[in-house]
Structure 1
């Protein structure tokens, strides 16, 4: 086949594809039908074939097929627009002119939006390559269509249309139609060849001040209507050109204030309706990943309002439930469930972290997560160690290594505990020791004070504990082992009459039950003395068991109900809250840690910058600590004063309102 024949086949192939594409163009432009998903995919496929199927032909330049499509589309659009232009030039009545213009514009704009979606491959590849090679007259399909409209439809009637809009506005006629006409003109100015003059300047040069004020007031009204009604389907398009004509939309003012107030109310109502941690998370996600967020993605200052609203909502002081507790409870529910897919659980973890990032007290969330992780590890309630690792990896990525250091160490200690447990079992086997019960050990770094929880272990466990201490001292001489008896638990078999029941109990509850192996009844004081505990810890246990009829009391003595029976063989008795002062101490520890972290941040920043104004130092400290917590300005000021009062301060006051690092 010679060159001429190959060229002819090439043209025939492109013409055949164009005929197939023209069918969809008629649907969009002539019949004014939106393409369904299947037709849109077919149109996309034909565009792809049109641009790329003949690239391997040595007689065809790689850009030629795309040029054929782009030129064919231009000719098709020109043909339609000349027909519209000829009709508009026949109108002499101002109101008819504006009304028909807007009607044609709305139809054409919608059709061009559809066409641009179908020509995504052409825009991303052929047009981009042409522009890269310096062909500035080549534009993406939508902009090309807007330029053709401006040259063929708007330019021949621009004077008459501008005059008609001005006169009709003075007579207060068809204001909504006038606004749509102005919107179209703004869009044309934003897409035309002349990009050196800003859109607001073009509008002011063409229209009177009254028309400009009308456009701005109607834009605000339209903005409010869309936000209030939540009809965001065209919001992205509306904002794109509204912001080009009115840059003030993205500045602090009426637009942002209205958006913020409306979203505040919307999120507050959603939170009030949420009954679970999952619903609470979803209330934030509907705003963070909804149609409004997608519409605002190209407008960073407006998009930032969503973050501001989420931050305000989650840190509000008048909330019915503590968000930190709610998020951690939901984390715990996910960790102990095994009926969800790995992907579903990971998705929920990501959503939790995304919401938790809005907390001012991020360190408090991380801290309480660590406590619940520790309990899950000791009680072996985690459905998957992989899920625990995934969640902490997400925290590290979002909050940083410093904030999550303790969580990482907890996982490391979990791995070490498996090795220690196996070594201890080998130790027992080598000495021929048989315990007669399952003694499972969990080894963690001891960072929590347990001095406010007292308990004397039953003699059945004491020997094993001492044996473990002896083993541990020999193999880990540099480490101290501390048993956390307050949150330790186990299972115990209880033979009552003809029934053998399994009780899930805390170590304290186990100690109480084992005492009844040696004596039938005790006074409450006897139980307190023999367990080495307190009346505040023992009494709630006895009250619960008496209520469940496991114990019988005659006022002075307590004894086991040997006639206790139940359909269930297994009972969870480990549900009694332990009264202690530990919570207060934990909060104190966290407060002290924050002081240390703030002091370190202040000194680190002063060492880096040498000289800083007071306001600069405050801003930098807040930015430095944002992944841990959001310190109050008063708190930072107090820490600065405390550092200055040291015997050998790292920095000093300099001038009226500055600090200077002392090298």
Structure 2
């Protein structure tokens, strides 16, 4: 064959393979007409081929296929293919492609690296473009003889364009891939690009895409008609070696980089490298490589140095480095099965817990037992808010980190320096804080800010283990706000109850809702009372504005005091009129008066200005005694009011502290020099001794309620299950009670024993750790 520069890329003219001549000598005539045109098409089709010549070549191929139908071989006749000829012409085309590629093979000799890539890409583009036109010339052959032959099982026959690809793979590719010459040239260019040098990405794209196009499954002709490629060649000749080279490259680079740079710098480097590899796939690789390349990069760059990242996590948390925390999260997130996060979850949980404990200790100062509710709640919320923003911003709101934070919050909120060993302290302080929010005295009582503050309360509420303690303290404070008309907003009160109902269910808030119903009933009752009094009494007789709340016993958490309180003379008429009115309205009902919760407004006339004192009924009874006496002893006041010594002592102390009264030698008198900037002076302040007693009373109620709840819960479970093992019963009780409180195992055991004694349960004789329900 010719090898001169002038004939490079041109096959010798009009050569017909012997196998074709043996089938039909007349094929030589047709081939002599067609082959010169193929030379033009395969070397310089843009300038050397006219439409007229193209049609001449097409007609020659077509006429041969039609006219040679009786020249088929005996093999073809046996296969039922004698009506359409074309096999000799097919072998001519196959032989031509092979001869044509000899010049390309020779041209590639001695080339390596980028020159080899450029030569290969140029030859590939010229060859495939030419083959695309050649297939059109032989389209009749494609549609008839080749189609029929394939359908009859010939696996070595292809449509013309696929035949061209098969010959390129057999002749050209196998030649340039000796010692992986072409693949190594690609890998060197990729390494240059990774090292920061500029390369021709389109060149690599052209060469690599040829591997995809040449992936013809020669054992399965079903893929041949449309030239649909397989990826076997792409994977064996390029992808496998590329992945191995990538792993080796990043193992070397990452090891050297971490030895000379900070962890944060390494994370930035890894982030950039992963982005580069993803872009590399877009630039010149088959998309299927992403599923293999990226995991290998992640394994080397992240998994291989995960301990380094884990060790840095605490430093980033301590330094509030949210951008770097986010970077670390996104890197470790790439590892399978969340294995990158496992150690970090424990670190984060411990970090949040330590922050919470430190914040409470700082807020408590030297007196943790008397920490203010507002300071306590603010400290807890600050820790929660700070770490929640870390989770949302840096850790993408990952549920695993949310769970770790919840676990830490539950721990430090229920057990810290302020609570000591009493898990009831946090619910009590949170309830007192909520009370301050919902009072009229709240400076931030604007609707929007109040609603947000209540939402903040519910954030902490969900972490409380003893939610029943919160309920009791909240009930007490709610009852006082309602009784004293100090609620900042009815809407806010309703909103808070709705939030509690959503969190704990209807039963949790049932009594709270009943309180509001009682308030509405009382309003209606007082309206009727006023109408009745206005109709039956002169206006002069009704000189006191009397309003009475009638509250259902058992709903309101109001303590009943046994006292011999003497109702002041000034209040007697109003008191008796209401008693009579109520008796007529509700025959058979008896009112129990809660004087310790009542309040009064008293106008003064003995000071330099006229003041209105806001006082409790007990304080009013004390002050009214000084209308008839200038000086009174403790015993005289006690006898006149009927108050218990401790109650009287506390109320006198408040009045002396407010400088309304003065004490001299165990005698009390009005301080005529009393002055105040406010004309309305609130003297109805809580007495510390009463607050302490109230806390004890609430906790006693909680303990009593818990015993009843445990009994009811156990009976309900056993009634449904009939028999149950001890461990299962304990677990079910803990689960069901979780929305109210965390019962201790000894408490549950004690309740079980009590129910056995009461014949609600019994032990199964042949299984002592199993209980049975007694119907």
1:358 pairs with 2:468: no
Conservation of the 8 A alpha-carbon contact between 2:356 and 2:412: yes
Q: 2:304 aligns with which of 214, 228, 232?
A: 214
Residue 246 of structure 2 is matched in structure 1 by 161
Q: TM-score, normalised by structure 2?
A: 0.59
Residue 390 of structure 1 is matched in structure 2 by 495
1:595 pairs with 2:700: no
Conservation of the 8 A alpha-carbon contact between 1:267 and 1:313: yes
Conservation of the 8 A alpha-carbon contact between 2:719 and 2:773: yes
Deviation at 1:597, TM superposition (A): 0.7
Conservation of the 8 A alpha-carbon contact between 1:492 and 1:510: yes
- For the residue of structure 2 that corresponds to 1:422, the secondary structure is helix
Q: Structure 2: 5+ residue runs without aligned partners? A: 1-183, 198-234, 364-373
Residue 552 of structure 2 is matched in structure 1 by 445
Residue 371 of structure 1 is matched in structure 2 by 476
Q: 1:329 aligns with which of 432, 443, 449?
A: 432
Counterparts of 1:222 and 1:592, CA distance in 2: 50
Deviation at 1:485, TM superposition (A): 1.4
- For the residue of structure 2 that corresponds to 1:446, the secondary structure is coil
Residue 75 of structure 1 is matched in structure 2 by none
Moved more, 432-441 or 179-188: 179-188
**Superposition CA RMSD, Å:** 4.0
Deviation at 1:449, TM superposition (A): 3.3
**Cα separation, partners in 2 of 1:565 and 1:218, compared to 1, 3 Å:** closer
Counterparts of 2:620 and 2:449, CA distance in 1: 38
Residue 558 of structure 1 is matched in structure 2 by 668
1:254 pairs with 2:343: yes
Counterparts of 1:280 and 1:339, CA distance in 2: 18
- For the residue of structure 1 that corresponds to 2:605, the secondary structure is strand
Counterparts of 1:402 and 1:328, CA distance in 2: 18
1:610 pairs with 2:743: no
Counterparts of 2:666 and 2:357, CA distance in 1: 54
Counterparts of 1:657 and 1:577, CA distance in 2: 51
**Cα separation, partners in 2 of 1:296 and 1:470, compared to 1, 3 Å:** farther
Conservation of the 8 A alpha-carbon contact between 1:187 and 1:241: no
**Cα separation, partners in 2 of 1:547 and 1:258, compared to 1, 3 Å:** closer
**Cα separation, partners in 2 of 1:493 and 1:616, compared to 1, 3 Å:** same
Counterparts of 1:154 and 1:272, CA distance in 2: 60
RCO (CA 8 Å, sep 6+): is it higher in 1 or 2? 1
**Cα separation, partners in 2 of 1:640 and 1:299, compared to 1, 3 Å:** farther
Deviation at 1:607, TM superposition (A): 2.5
1:239 pairs with 2:329: yes
- For the residue of structure 2 that corresponds to 1:658, the secondary structure is strand
Q: 1:227 aligns with which of 317, 338, 351?
A: 317
Counterparts of 2:391 and 2:712, CA distance in 1: 40
- For the residue of structure 2 that corresponds to 1:360, the secondary structure is coil
**Cα separation, partners in 2 of 1:170 and 1:556, compared to 1, 3 Å:** closer
Residue 127 of structure 2 is matched in structure 1 by none
Counterparts of 2:443 and 2:607, CA distance in 1: 36
Q: TM-score, normalised by structure 1?
A: 0.69
Residue 353 of structure 2 is matched in structure 1 by 264
Counterparts of 2:722 and 2:614, CA distance in 1: 60
Counterparts of 2:277 and 2:729, CA distance in 1: 45
1:310 pairs with 2:409: yes
- For the residue of structure 1 that corresponds to 2:741, the secondary structure is coil
Conservation of the 8 A alpha-carbon contact between 1:450 and 1:484: yes
Counterparts of 2:531 and 2:281, CA distance in 1: 78
- For the residue of structure 1 that corresponds to 2:600, the secondary structure is strand
Deviation at 1:292, TM superposition (A): 1.5
Deviation at 1:656, TM superposition (A): 5.1
Q: Structure 1: 5+ residue runs without aligned partners? A: 1-84, 102-149
1:509 pairs with 2:619: yes
Q: 1:90 aligns with which of 171, 174, 189?
A: 189
Larger Rg: 2
Counterparts of 2:509 and 2:678, CA distance in 1: 42
1:626 pairs with 2:738: yes
1:574 pairs with 2:684: yes
Deviation at 1:514, TM superposition (A): 1.2
Deviation at 1:419, TM superposition (A): 0.8
**Cα separation, partners in 2 of 1:432 and 1:170, compared to 1, 3 Å:** closer
Aligned length: 521
Q: Deviations over 1:88-147 (max 9, x none)?
A: 84366xxx876649xxxxxxxxxxxxxxxxxxxxxxxxxxxxxxxxxxxxxxxxxxxxxx
Counterparts of 1:243 and 1:88, CA distance in 2: 29
